[in-house]
Amino acid sequence: MGAVVVFCETDDKGLRSASLPALAAGSELAKRQGGELVAVLVGGNLKTAAAETAKFAAKVLAYEHASLAAPLAETWAPQLADAVKRAGATALLGTATSTGKDVLPRAGALLGAGMASDVTAVLGPNRFRRPAYAGNALEEVEVAGPVVVASVRQTAFAAPAPSASGGAVEVVAPAAADALGSEVVGLHANVSARPDLGEAKVVVSGGRGMKSGENFKVLEELTDLLGGALGASRAAADAGMVPNDLQVGQTGKVVAPQLYIAVAISGAIQHLAGMKGSKVIVAINKDPEAPIFQVADYGLVDTWEKAIPALIAAVKKLKAAG
């Protein structure tokens, strides 16, 4: 079998940790296919990221050029297709981030390849497991054809350990790409000192029962005490209480932290699809019949106005004693 190519995302600091699960899945698939693991980077300044990525792959292909600095699927997808052909690969993987969901299907179309999205397990050379019906069912899919394309659910694969000896890095001239009239005119990002929602070990989420964005400040205090990330249900995001990028759920971000605290969240199936993989789930809701209690490891029937200040006080007391 051929090599397995993994699309790795980068930022100003280097390799994004969101790409590590894809490298783990790619390594597993490479063992099943009997080929080597090849990482591919696309961007404008990749020296640092390429050196980091080489610790996880036998070879790194860096498509570095100023014209590729902006994350544009129209120009990035041809680079991934070129990497697959250059490596003689039989598979292309990447993480199911917003960028991965944008670029991978287009690359698959250029390759004429079938695709499995949001996979949670590698079962064979071209066979995967993925969630269906908002996570209420698991399906096994087999991708036919000479090349397999798959996006990996970030929370389903543990980050691989770096190897002592790094792989070779090859800077590649960009493949021809037509932006098709598209361009990136600006990037507006919310800057936060808290960890990324998809990578945090602790997540505190609030729902519609928080009533207003002002009330989320008490959750922010608890979140910061625990060193976690702030999240929200779709209802809270749609109501304008918090920015949309904090939404956890089927149409938001999928998280699986060590600890997930759901405050004033009823537990609609769409929300559960984004957080029920969490190791420990704590639910605080005044309604004893709320569906969130069915998936919670610990539940407290109380109002957030009473429960959260008491929890904050307890955490502060423990931190002071420790």
Whole-number pLDDT of residue 225? 96
CATH T-level fold of 202-321: Rossmann fold (3.40.50)
Which pLDDT value is given to residue 165?
Answer: 80
Kindly report, residue by residue over 78-110, the tens digit of the pLDDT.
Answer: 999 999 999 999 999 999 999 999 999 999 999
- Fold match flag (3-172 vs 202-321): yes
CA dihedral 169, 170, 171, 177 (to 10 degrees): -120
The predicted-structure confidence for 225-248, as pLDDT tens digits, reads as follows: 999 999 999 999 999 999 999 999
Which DSSP string corresponds to 210-254? G-SGGGHHHHHHHHHHHT-EEEE-HHHHHTTSS-GGGBBSTTSB-
> Angle CA(222)–CA(228)–CA(230) in degrees, nearest 5?
75
Q: From residue 31, how far is each of 24, 28, 72, 146, 272 by CA, in Å?
A: 11, 5, 31, 17, 33
CATH code of the domain made up of 3-172: 3.40.50.620
| pLDDT at position 134 | 79
According to DSSP, the residues that pair with 121 across neighbouring strands are 129
Sketch the domain layout of the chain as residue ranges: 3-172, 202-321
pLDDT tens figures, 184-220 = 888 777 667 888 888 899 999 999 999 999 999 999 9
Who has greater pLDDT, 133 or 294? 294
